[in-house]
Structure 1
Amino acid sequence: MGLSSLCLAFASIFILSKLVLIYLAAADSLQSYIPTCHDAENAALLQFKQSFVINISASQYHGAYPKTSSWKSAGNQNNSCCSWDGVECDENTGHVIGLDLSSSRLYGSFSSNNTLFSLVHLQSLNLADNNFIYSQIPISIRNFPKLRLSGMLPHCFNNFTYLEGLSVGNNLFHGTLPQVCTTNRSSLKMMDASRNQLLGKLPRSLANCLTLESLVLSSNKFDDVFPTWLGILPELKVLAMKNSGFHGAIRRPPSNHGFPDLRILDLSQNNFTGQFPSEFIFSGISMGRGINSKSAYMSANNFYVISSRANEYGERYDMTFHKFVYSVTLINKGLERYFPKIYEDFMAIDLSSNRFEGRIPELIGNLKGLRSLNVSNNMLTGRIPPSLGNLKNLEALDLSQNKLSGEIPQVLLQLSFLEQFNVSHNNLTGRILHGNQFSTFENTSYEGNPGLCGDPLPKKCARPEGNKLPPSTAEENGSSTGVELEWKFAAAGLVSGLVVGVVLADFVITRWSDRFIEIVALLIRLLRRMRGPRS
């Protein structure tokens, strides 16, 4: 190897080592970057720390340690609260967005004015495995609009005898839904566990919740069939199970009577099959009669009950109270809509995006209070039942993406409140309805039906049979019959003309005989001249 080659090798190694050092320095600087903590949030966390003491018996986990010990006031190293143990900050804004103080040996009592509730940007909070004695769930928890809890739901809800409302929706809870109402002494009226990651089957103890009015389980990962056993609940008004992993045919129980007060049913985006047992689900009277209570909302008086350890006076209960208004998210008028309040008289059915078969039940026409009906994206067959014309309060009707046939019933013109109508992608035939609300619907409401015609579709309808000209007799019976018929008309005309001519001739000869003779003579001479001489 020459001297020049050796120098080139050393130069290459030198340059490569410099590049590696620059990369490592840059990586170290990126990893050591800590967002700047806001002073107000820094102070709030320090005050939160001061409100509790460290007690080794406050946590049961063997790896527990006091995370707040690393929290130091200004003037010390690692001043930024974003560097403290258990604290997570947004890299761009520096706001505290996460707090994990699980198993931190915290001992003390929460108050409603605790500085923790001033961290309004908080999105995750974990305080598990600590001992917050004599504490109640404060109303201040509502200060966290972005907070999402995680973990498994505790199994202590069954101890809350006076609990009327339980809302744990829009979080990251996993595992199974805990047992509630193990006895019929429960006061539970509302449960919302929607938009979580709950698994498994529904607890059969829900059938003991005899005061339950609203059960919202949408957007989970259950693996269960339809809970027909909930049909015995006398007060159940809302049952929402959208996109939650339910499947199979809905079995008919021995008794066809169930759900006596049901007003909102959402089974959409599951994997239900077979025919829908409407005579069982809709056997109640509420949908049939309607509710005359537009000013009232569905609500419950919500008690939060926390049971503490026994003291010398026995078991202690701390309770807070406020009115809780039911809410639900539904597909309404073609759009997903969140209802923060539900009127007592609002009634809706959504069976869309399943694999239901058979005909649309005529019984649905008896549900006079119905405002919204969506059975789209199934495998329904047969005709659109004319009984739907009885739903005078109906505002939205979606029958699209099925295998329906026949014509659109004329009686649907009676639905004067109808704002959204969709029968697209079926096998419907005939003329599209016009008049009233149907004059406002666009062609997207009807597309995918080759047999439909008329505005607003580009396909025009043929002239109705009643307006066509009658076929000629010649076309029906052949040309010979037509000739005979024409000779009959000619003969009749000849006879009538002869009669009229004789009568007129008699009249003229009698009145003007001389003048008549002269005229006849003149006509004879003219005829002779026209003929000319014979050859």
Structure 2
Amino acid sequence: MASFMCDLMSTRLLVLLPLFLAIATNCFSSMQPLCHDDDSSALLQFKESFDMNLNACRGPFAYPKIATWKQEGVDRDCCSWDGVECDEDTGHVIGLDLSSSCLYGSMVSNSLFRLVHLQRLNLAYNNFNFSQIPSGFSLLSRLTYLNLSYSSFSGQIPSNFSKLSKLSTLDLSKLPLLAQPESVVQSNLHLKSLKSLVQNLTSLKVLCLNFVQISSPVPEILSNLSSLTTLQLIGCGLHGEFPVGIFKLPKLQELKVWQTSFSGKLPASMANLTQLSYLDMSYTQLTGQIPSWLANMTQLTVLYLSFNKLQGPLPNSIFELEKLETLHLYSNNLSGIVAMDMFHKLKYLTSLVLSLNHISFITKTNSNATQNKFKVLGLGSCNLSHFPDFLRNQNQLQWLDLSYNNIHGQIPIWVWNTSKETLKFVNFSHNYLTGFDQHQDNFPWPQLLVLDLSSNKIQESLRIPPPSMKIYSVANNMLQGEISPSICNLSSLYSLDLSNNQFSGILPHCLSNLSCSLNILNLRANKFHGMIPQLCAKGSTLKMIDLSQNQFEGVLPRSLSNCRMLEVLNLGSNELNDVFPSWLGTLPELRVLSLQQNGFYGVVGSPTSFFASPKLGIVDLSVNKFTGKETLYQKIREAFAFVDLSSNEFNGTIPEFIGNLNGFQLLNLSNNNLTGHIPISFGNMSTLESLDLSQNKLSGQIPMQLTQLTFLASFNVSHNQLTGPIPQSTQFNTFDSSSFGGNLGLCGNPLSKKCENPEPPPLPTASIEEDQDSWFHIEFDWKIILLGYCSGIINGVVVGNIVTKKKQHWFVRARKRQHKRERRQLC
């Protein structure tokens, strides 16, 4: 009986237990404090000050978190709102995570700053419309975590950020310029003094300021942040000596300092960073060999030393980093023999890039060894003579670079099965490939984004890539046949380069279907003929069109006026026959126009609105049938840098005011019917680097003022009617007799004819300051999917192919000076 009663009581307790638990839970919940009205009101006002814009959604998991915030109903407690964290005891809002929340609008004096109990704030990956970071953040004195990264802020970072003395994490990183939309590429985030920012932030563990423009040296005070675990100063333009004390911080785990002023050898003090797991010192001008003490960094998982000047062989110390997952040594001067078997010890290695060195890579592997499963593999310029056999076993590759090798013959069938479902980037350019060892029209990689087969010897018809393709280049091959209309199905295509092949036929009329995604279209140097089709639909995103060196005929399609973003138009060396296309002057972004060597005729620039195009700086109208007198010169603007009007039918004199257009770097008026004197004012064109007035009927003396043009690298006044002594100066002494020949009245060096009065008139006092970095003021703000990948297309086509052989010497020198300046200015 007693046993029965005990069982009965136990059964009743089991039945009642859920009820007791529900009551207890309800009581416990009722003890939790609700969100304070002040905090709730501040959050709702914050919500109302922004739009929820899908175009502002950044990141794969972005969604509008504030959409569920409500003032009334069961969800009125702000502590239950998405992204909001409250203190369990006080109910005050202490955490706010609105990262990737699709917020759009300007961040001004905001109700957010009334949340004075806030300790953690994350507003990363939104779009604050390039507003300035408000100084009101300093009111949140309890903040320990602040993340405003990649949210489109601009302007000066407030100096009062230094008052947030409790911060342990500060991330103000921004997108690099080339990754920003073109309309906002000039919006930058600035910091006057890194020292002033961090001097009071003694508790910092994480500091990220990537691509923030910092106009100060790297402060020694960073070495005093003993708690620092992460330091990211990528692309900040910092100058001065990099404090080696940073390499002694005992807790440092992540260091990214590429594009800083650091140079020389890797300091031995780095051997103390035994906790370091991530090291990126790319673009820092490092020299010497990779040191053996690298083996001390036993926790290292990621090592980036690309784009430096490191030399010598790969040291054994690298192969002792057993936790290494990523090793990128791209573009150095490393040498020696490297065998695939050497990497088997690094069993976690999934990303290896050795491209653009002087390494000889031995691909043969030990069949019994455990094979690395790569996601990223770069073996460009590694003296490969065939496709590495170990690729057969790779099924996770996403990025594969075998460019600049000596691989001959056809691409074997088994390569097409390599990582068939994962490959996104393939670069087989600059080899000796002749074709594809399979018979199909399409490529097998459905996820492919970038395919570069340029500079090979492929002799087939054009294969159509998968619809996912963004960048497709087969330039510099021997491909032939017509372009299939199926190429118009590549609705995501960003860059298409078919230049320097043997394609023929008429272009598909459906190409305009691509114009709302395509930025670069390069069909130069083929055998296309017929009329140029309607390339630009309304809303076109095309920035560069190069159809030069083909056999196109007829008139220009007026649909080009729909290319409102067009920056470069090269139609040179065709058979076009039309009046001057003055309607191109409506294109607001046009910077480069080449119509040279066609059958264009009539008066240039009528109406005059064409030459009012605000950004036009390079114009090549040479070898046509244009006519006109001084009225043409009236339309040439000061902003022009490159003007070639050679081989036309222009006549009359060159007006003096041309010399006041001091933006010129190249001026070519050769092979016309120009008369009169060379203007003395040409001596004022201080940036001029190439001047060609040959094959005209100019008379008088060569002005002595031209000796003031200290950058003049190419000069030609041959075959005119000039007389008198050739000016003598350091610059003029570099020009040979071919620059002056065909002028019976000229005398003096470098001609053999001596002057009767060898004493030239005194040289006017030069008032022109030298500028070793003078060149075009034109900048091409391309939006590149993979940063820098398309730069070869732009540099090689935008200007390089407009420049004829007689100008190339000048052009190469000018490009070198510009490149040095760009490297200094890059942020």
1:267 to 592, 613, 621: 621
| Separation of aligned partners in 2, 1:286 and 1:216 | 19
* Match of residue 161 from structure 1: 516
1:236 to 584, 590, 595: 590
- For the 8 Å contact 1:264–1:348, the answer to whether it is kept is yes
1:205 to 559, 573, 583: 559
- For the 8 Å contact 1:372–1:396, the answer to whether it is kept is yes
Partner amino acid for 2:519? E
What is the SS of the residue equivalent to 2:584?
helix
Structure 1 position 286 matched with structure 2 position 639: yes
- For the 8 Å contact 1:167–1:193, the answer to whether it is kept is yes
Aligned-pair CA distance for 1:371: 1.4
1:218 to 572, 586, 611: 572
Unaligned runs of 5+ in 2: 1-407, 415-434, 444-456, 762-827
**Higher CA-based Rg:** 1
Distance 1:245 1:46, change over 3 A: same
Distance 1:100 1:369, change over 3 A: closer
Distance 1:442 1:224, change over 3 A: same
- For the 8 Å contact 1:278–1:363, the answer to whether it is kept is no
Aligned-pair CA distance for 1:383: 0.6
Distance 1:221 1:51, change over 3 A: closer
2:480 to 111, 115, 124: 124
| Separation of aligned partners in 2, 1:282 and 1:399 | 17
Structure 1 position 152 matched with structure 2 position 506: yes
Count of paired positions: 319
| Separation of aligned partners in 2, 1:197 and 1:237 | 24
Aligned-pair CA distance for 1:118: 11
* Match of residue 97 from structure 1: 459
1:359 to 629, 637, 653: 653
Partner amino acid for 1:124? Q
Distance 1:49 1:279, change over 3 A: closer
* Match of residue 436 from structure 1: 730
- For the 8 Å contact 1:97–1:124, the answer to whether it is kept is yes
| Separation of aligned partners in 2, 1:187 and 1:352 | 32
| Separation of aligned partners in 1, 2:488 and 2:647 | 48
Partner amino acid for 1:399? L
Distance 1:220 1:412, change over 3 A: same
Task: Name the TM-score, length of structure 2 as normaliser.
Answer: 0.35
1:71-119 alpha-carbon deviations (Å, 9 max, x no partner):
xxxxxxxxxxxxxxxxxxxxxxxx8723499xxxxxx984889xx9999
- For the 8 Å contact 2:693–2:718, the answer to whether it is kept is yes
| Separation of aligned partners in 1, 2:687 and 2:462 | 51
Distance 1:234 1:141, change over 3 A: closer
Aligned-pair CA distance for 1:202: 0.7
* Match of residue 675 from structure 2: 381
| Separation of aligned partners in 2, 1:120 and 1:457 | 42
| Separation of aligned partners in 2, 1:434 and 1:391 | 18
- For the 8 Å contact 1:367–1:391, the answer to whether it is kept is yes
- For the 8 Å contact 1:351–1:376, the answer to whether it is kept is yes
| Separation of aligned partners in 2, 1:255 and 1:50 | 47
Superposed, 1:358-437 pairs within 5 Å as 358-437=652-731
What is the SS of the residue equivalent to 2:731?
helix
Distance 1:254 1:409, change over 3 A: closer
- For the 8 Å contact 2:467–2:489, the answer to whether it is kept is no
What is the SS of the residue equivalent to 1:158?
helix
What is the SS of the residue equivalent to 2:502?
coil
Aligned-pair CA distance for 1:447: 1.8
- For the 8 Å contact 2:488–2:511, the answer to whether it is kept is no
Aligned-pair CA distance for 1:217: 0.4
What is the SS of the residue equivalent to 2:509?
coil
Unaligned runs of 5+ in 1: 1-36, 53-94, 102-107, 288-346, 468-535
Superposed, 1:443-454 pairs within 5 Å as 443-454=737-748
Partner amino acid for 1:352? S
| Separation of aligned partners in 2, 1:408 and 1:120 | 44
- For the 8 Å contact 1:250–1:276, the answer to whether it is kept is no
Aligned-pair CA distance for 1:465: 11
Aligned-pair CA distance for 1:398: 1.1
| Separation of aligned partners in 2, 1:133 and 1:245 | 30
Aligned-pair CA distance for 1:147: 3.6
| Separation of aligned partners in 2, 1:210 and 1:351 | 25
Partner amino acid for 1:363? F
| Separation of aligned partners in 2, 1:146 and 1:256 | 31
Aligned-pair CA distance for 1:139: 9.4
| Separation of aligned partners in 1, 2:686 and 2:487 | 56
1:172 to 527, 536, 539: 527
CA RMSD between the two structures? 4.0
| Separation of aligned partners in 2, 1:235 and 1:442 | 40
Distance 1:353 1:378, change over 3 A: same
| Separation of aligned partners in 1, 2:560 and 2:495 | 30
1:191 to 545, 549, 555: 545
Percent of residue pairs bearing the same amino acid type: 46
Partner amino acid for 1:210? R
Superposed, 1:12-161 pairs within 5 Å as 47-49=438-440, 97-99=459-461, 110=466, 122-126=478-482, 128=484, 147-159=501-513, 160-161=515-516
Partner amino acid for 2:552? L
Task: Name the TM-score, length of structure 1 as normaliser.
Answer: 0.52
Aligned-pair CA distance for 1:375: 1.1
Distance 1:279 1:258, change over 3 A: farther
Partner amino acid for 2:621? L
Distance 1:354 1:276, change over 3 A: farther
